Amino acid sequence: MKCFYCGNDFEIISTNGGGGHNRLFCYNCVPEGLSQTEREKIVRGLIINKVKQEKILIGCNRCGYNKCASALEWHHPDGEKDFNPSDRLNNRGVKGYLDYQKEIEKCILLCANCHREVHDGGMV
């Protein structure tokens, strides 16, 4: 199986009657033996970090800025907005990330400055 976060292959360790069959993260990324609260906190952090890395790789569609992921925002150029993509990343785990991925297919990534200029009447 491939880890959802790091992409490394791992084998599911069957403990206490076969637990872990729906595990999406390797044991290095999400160690075994954590409480549900601890596990969710780690998974949320991994997904946020994954999104930040992806945004930096893409950069601003208009000016190319790619230094700070927090300064990069998803813009819906056609107005087909079902929701703010980043809102799906809080407390929803992998399902939230998959919803996020689906929504950003309708978007372009802009830095905060370009995003404000576009909404103020500038062209993309």
Distance CA 120, CA 101 (A): 27
pTM over 0.75: yes
CA end-to-end span of the chain: 41
Residue 124 pLDDT grade (very low, low, confident, very high; cuts 50, 70, 90)? low
Position 44 scores a pLDDT of 92
Type of residue found at 37 = T
Distance CA 70, CA 56 (A): 9
Q: Do 46 and 5 meet the contact criterion of CB atoms below 8 Å apart?
A: yes
Would you state the structure tokens that stand for residue 1, as one six-digit string?
């199986």
Would you state the structure tokens that stand for residue 75, as one six-digit string?
């813009």
Boundaries of every domain in the chain: 1-33, 40-119
Position 14 scores a pLDDT of 64
Distance CA 67, CA 111 (A): 10
Q: Is the pLDDT of residue 81 over 70?
A: yes
